[in-house]
Structure 1
Amino acid sequence: MDATNPGEVDGFDRLRAFLRRLYYGRTRAALRFQISVLAVDLVIIAFFVASPVLRDRPSFLWVDYGIAAVLAADVLARGLASNSLAGWARRPTVWVDLFILATLLFPHSLANLGFLRILRLWSLSRSGFIWQPLERRGHAAWREVMEDIVNLVTFLLVTTGFVYTFFFRTGSGIEGYVDAFYFTVATVTTTGFGDIVLPGIWGKLTSIAIMIVGIALFVKLAQALFRTSKVVFPCPQCALQRHDPDAVHCKACGHPLKIPDDGD
């Protein structure tokens, strides 16, 4: 005999439908909710950026656990709002958020991995949630450029946190964090002023890795900025998504296209 209460099942389904409307709906209330969630996320990311130099403050743990509660609620709500819980649980962005949550719940045990919390910015970008307002205003073509910028900023901030944690943290405070950021930017851009260097063989290997990954991200961003812009318009026949703004035929299958002008 099935002991499941139909009322409880219906209530659970209604909750999921309600959360789905909030996170992905287009009503005025849903848009206000999405903007509020995005604003809270940006404030949390700002805390993550500053957390290496705030870690020794008396109020740090209170803020840390408060953010953990907010992040846990958001992760749970996004999971319930998804069409498939199993598919949602397999997403890399979800695993990143769960790892970030672990660093918040165990700030002392995982203190040296706290700089990885900034990956929250990357997970927001990959989830697409952060780009919904941009796409609703007809600027979907800029999404790739903005994603490349977010990837570069995330890399710079994560690398700065790593360099600060393992090379500059001892007794350095805000000055050490600025030195770590300065070193990261100088290394990524291959400027290499030489006034700040990382000691030892691990310092040299770290510098090499920063230069290789940083140059690759800069090149990808430059390609997105300067190559011919594309518009997002699915081909009715082959579903190719991106085309030249003046294209009349799909370059993949030759099917006629009717791409609307910006003023249409």
Structure 2
Amino acid sequence: MTSDQLRKTPDRTRAFRRFRAKLRALYHGESPQAVRFRLAVIGVDLALIAFFIAAPFLRDSRLFLPLDLAVAAILATDLAARALAWRTVKDWIRRPIVMVDLFVLLTLLLPTVLINLAFLRVLRIWTLFNSEFFWDTVGHRFDDTRWEDVIRAAATLITFVFVATGFVYTIYVGEDGGVSGYVDALYFTVTSLTTTGYGDIILPGVSGRLISIVIMIAGITLFVRFAQALFRPYKVRFACHVCGLMRHEPDAVHCKACGALLNIPNDEA
């Protein structure tokens, strides 16, 4: 290494550290500028999700591939920035939500190789509404409340519907059974999930019956979870220091599992 390189290296290192500190302030800070930045990022995320949902209808358009590559560039930039804003890239990449996002990015970077897995891009719905990034920015008012449970359950249910629809469309479109387009696949998924089963669209073969059973069982389970989050009596999240029980009545003074004294914070004076 030359003397010029030795003089430049510390400057570049300091500049890179300042850059990471700036990203950390934007992605994790509480300043008005950071909040506005995160709201803009969430807006872009919602636009990407809308593109993923509409992709089956746009696939035959000449603009689809350029849009696909543009979305890949946007998502890659965002994920790289989030990685640099985290404590360490190694810790960041180990998170399950990040692994799902990286897989979504991979389907965008290799559209021809992973074309049959493109329907899994809608998993971005689940990763967005289950991320700390979303709840620290938009959902902080509803964090640890009934509405957090409702939104998370709804996001999981919607994600399942579109993943199942994409799978049915990818595997069975054009086959005997009546799935001639994406709307037919969506219609079949919803009728199976609700156990309505009109019978006008039936997946052929043993594999089709097994997939229908999976959709019905998983869909009903997720729907029941959503209904429970919406209608069941609300319980606050507060870990008991003795037994670790997480859910308690809002006005609980003692843990119902072990009887330990609780000190649940609230907004009352």
Verify same fold: TM over 0.5.
yes
Tell me, yes or no, if the aligned pair for 1:230 and 1:243 is still in contact at 8 Å: yes
Runs (5+) with no aligned partner, structure 2: none
**SS of 2:195 mapped into structure 1:** coil
CA distance, structure 2, for counterparts of residue 47 and residue 195 of structure 1 = 29
Q: CA deviation at 1:8?
A: 2.8
Q: CA deviation at 1:237?
A: 7.3
Give the letter for the 1:229 counterpart: Y
CA shift in 2, pair 1:134/1:239, >3 Å:
farther
Q: CA deviation at 1:248?
A: 2.0
Q: Find the partner of 1:259 among 257, 262, 265.
A: 265
Matched ranges for 1:86-97 at <5 A = 86-97=90-101
Post-superposition Cα deviations, 1:16-55, rounded to whole Å, max 9, x if no partner, equal 2211211122211111111111111111011101112211
Matched ranges for 1:78-89 at <5 A = 78-89=82-93
Tell me, yes or no, if the aligned pair for 1:235 and 1:257 is still in contact at 8 Å: no
Matched ranges for 1:128-147 at <5 A = 128-141=132-145, 142-147=147-152
CA shift in 2, pair 1:153/1:258, >3 Å:
closer
CA distance, structure 1, for counterparts of residue 244 and residue 22 of structure 2 = 31
Q: Find the partner of 2:122 among 118, 125, 128.
A: 118
Give the letter for the 1:260 counterpart: N
CA distance, structure 1, for counterparts of residue 126 and residue 185 of structure 2 = 21
- Farther off after superposition, 84-93 or 245-254: 245-254
Post-superposition Cα deviations, 1:86-117, rounded to whole Å, max 9, x if no partner, equal 11111122221121112111212211111011
- Farther off after superposition, 223-232 or 103-112: 223-232
Give the letter for the 1:54 counterpart: L
**Alignment pair present for 1:159 and 2:164:** yes
CA distance, structure 2, for counterparts of residue 91 and residue 16 of structure 1 = 20
Equivalent pairs counted in the alignment come to 259
Runs (5+) with no aligned partner, structure 1: none
CA distance, structure 2, for counterparts of residue 178 and residue 149 of structure 1 = 21
Matched ranges for 1:200-239 at <5 A = 200-233=205-238
**SS of 2:130 mapped into structure 1:** helix
CA distance, structure 2, for counterparts of residue 240 and residue 66 of structure 1 = 46
Give the letter for the 1:124 counterpart: L
Question: How does the TM-score come out when normalised to structure 2?
Answer: 0.87
Post-superposition Cα deviations, 1:108-158, rounded to whole Å, max 9, x if no partner, equal 221111101101111222322222245432553121221111000000011
**Alignment pair present for 1:148 and 2:153:** yes
Give the letter for the 2:221 counterpart: A
Question: How does the TM-score come out when normalised to structure 1?
Answer: 0.88
CA distance, structure 1, for counterparts of residue 184 and residue 30 of structure 2 = 44
Q: Find the partner of 2:109 among 105, 122, 135.
A: 105
CA shift in 2, pair 1:22/1:237, >3 Å:
farther
- Farther off after superposition, 83-92 or 230-239: 230-239
CA shift in 2, pair 1:255/1:18, >3 Å:
farther
- Farther off after superposition, 81-90 or 233-242: 233-242
Tell me, yes or no, if the aligned pair for 1:52 and 1:165 is still in contact at 8 Å: no
CA distance, structure 2, for counterparts of residue 115 and residue 203 of structure 1 = 18
- Farther off after superposition, 209-218 or 130-139: 130-139
Q: CA RMSD in A?
A: 2.5
Give the letter for the 1:162 counterpart: F
CA shift in 2, pair 1:193/1:75, >3 Å:
same
CA distance, structure 2, for counterparts of residue 164 and residue 136 of structure 1 = 37
